Amino acid sequence: MRVPTTASLPAPIRSSWLPHLALGITGHRAANPAYSAHAAAIAAALEALFARIDAICMGLPGMRGPVRLHSLLVDGTDQVAGALALARGWDLAVPLPFGAALNCAINAHPDTLADMDALLAGGSAASPAVEAKAAAIRTITARAALFELADRDAEIAALWRAHLAAPVDRAAARAFEALVSDNVALAGRVMIEHTDLVVAVWDGKVANLPGGTGHTVAEALKLGAPVLLIDPAQPNTWRILGRSEELGMPADPAATPDFARLEAIIRAAVVVEGWSPGQLGKEQWRANSARAFGLYRRIERVFGGGGHALGSMTVTYEAPEAIVTGSGAEVVAAAAAMPGGDPAVVRELAEDVLPLFAWSDGIASRLADAYRSGMCVNFVLATLAVMVGILYLPAGMKESKWGFAAVELLLLGGILALTAAGSRLAWHGRWFAMRRVAEYLRHAPALLLMGVARPTGRWPRAGRAAGAGAEWPEHFARHALRDVGLPRVAATPAYLRAGLERIVLPHVVSQRAYHMHKAHKLETVHHRIDKVAEACFAFAVLSVLSYLGLKGAGALGVIDKHIAGDLSPVFTFLGVAFPTLGANLSGIRYFADFERFGAISHVAAEKLREIEERIGLLLSGAPQALTYAAAADLIHALDEAVVEEIASWQSVFGAKHLALPA
pLDDT in tens, 122-162: 999 999 999 999 999 999 999 999 999 999 999 999 999 99
d(CA 629, CA 187): 10
Q: Please report the pLDDT score of residue 127 as a whole number.
A: 95
pLDDT in tens, 408-455: 999 999 999 999 999 999 898 899 899 999 999 999 999 999 999 999
Q: How large a percentage of the chain has pLDDT more than 90?
A: 73
Question: What's the count of helices (H) and strands (E) in the chain, helices before strands?
Answer: 25, 7
Q: Which domains does the chain have, with CATH numbers?
A: 23-270 (3.40.50.450), 281-653 (no CATH)
Contact 116, 106 (CB under 8 A): no
Residue 119 scores a pLDDT above 60: yes
Helices 505-555, 561-592: axis angle to 10 degrees equals 160
Q: Please report the pLDDT score of residue 6 as a whole number.
A: 38
Q: Please report the pLDDT score of residue 467 as a whole number.
A: 52
pLDDT in tens, 477-495: 999 999 999 999 999 999 9
**Of 94 and 590, which is predicted with more confidence?**
94
Q: At 261, which amino acid appears?
A: R
275 pLDDT band, cuts 50/70/90, is confident
Q: Please report the pLDDT score of residue 462 as a whole number.
A: 65
pTM of the predicted model over 0.85? yes
662 pLDDT band, cuts 50/70/90, is low
Dihedral Cα 540, 545, 546, 550, nearest 10 deg? 150
Residue 79 has, within 13 A of its CA and on its CB side, a CA count of 20
Contact 613, 500 (CB under 8 A): no
pLDDT in tens, 156-209: 999 999 998 888 889 988 999 999 999 999 999 999 999 999 999 999 888 888
pLDDT in tens, 263-272: 999 999 999 8
pLDDT averaged over the chain?
A: 90
Q: What's the residue count for the chain? A: 662
Residue range 226-255: average pLDDT?
A: 89
Q: Please report the pLDDT score of residue 276 as a whole number.
A: 80
DSSP string of 380-417, one letter each residue:
HHHHHHHHHHTTHHHHT-GGGHHHHHHHHHHHHHHHHH
3-state secondary structure of 212: coil
Number of neighbouring beta carbons within 10 Å of residue 344: 13
Give, rounded to a whole angstrom, the gap between the first and last alpha carbons of the chain: 46
d(CA 118, CA 115): 5
Residue 399 scores a pLDDT above 90: no
d(CA 349, CA 315): 25
C-alpha angle 460/465/466, rounded to 5°?
60
Residue range 19-45: average pLDDT?
A: 94
3-state secondary structure of 486: coil
d(CA 216, CA 202): 10
pLDDT in tens, 307-349: 776 777 888 999 998 999 999 999 999 999 999 999 999 999 9
User: Which residues, other chains included, contact 450 with Cβ-Cβ below 8 Å and sequence gap of 6+?
Assistant: 491, 496, 499, 503, 504, 631, 632, 635
Burial class (CB in 10 A: 0-12, 13-18, 19+), 34: middle
3-state secondary structure of 621: coil
Pairing between β-strand 91-96 and β-strand 68-71 as defined by DSSP bridges: parallel
Distances in Å between the Cα of 127 and the Cα atoms of 64, 113, 131 are 45, 12, 6
For the chain, the 3-state helix, strand and coil shares in percent, each to the nearest 5, are: 65, 5, 25
pLDDT in tens, 617-631: 999 999 999 999 999
pLDDT in tens, 514-571: 999 999 999 999 999 999 999 999 999 999 999 999 999 998 888 888 888 889 999 9
| Residues forming a β-bridge with 231 | 234
d(CA 134, CA 109): 9
DSSP string of 241-261, one letter each residue:
E-SGGGGGSPP-TT----HHH
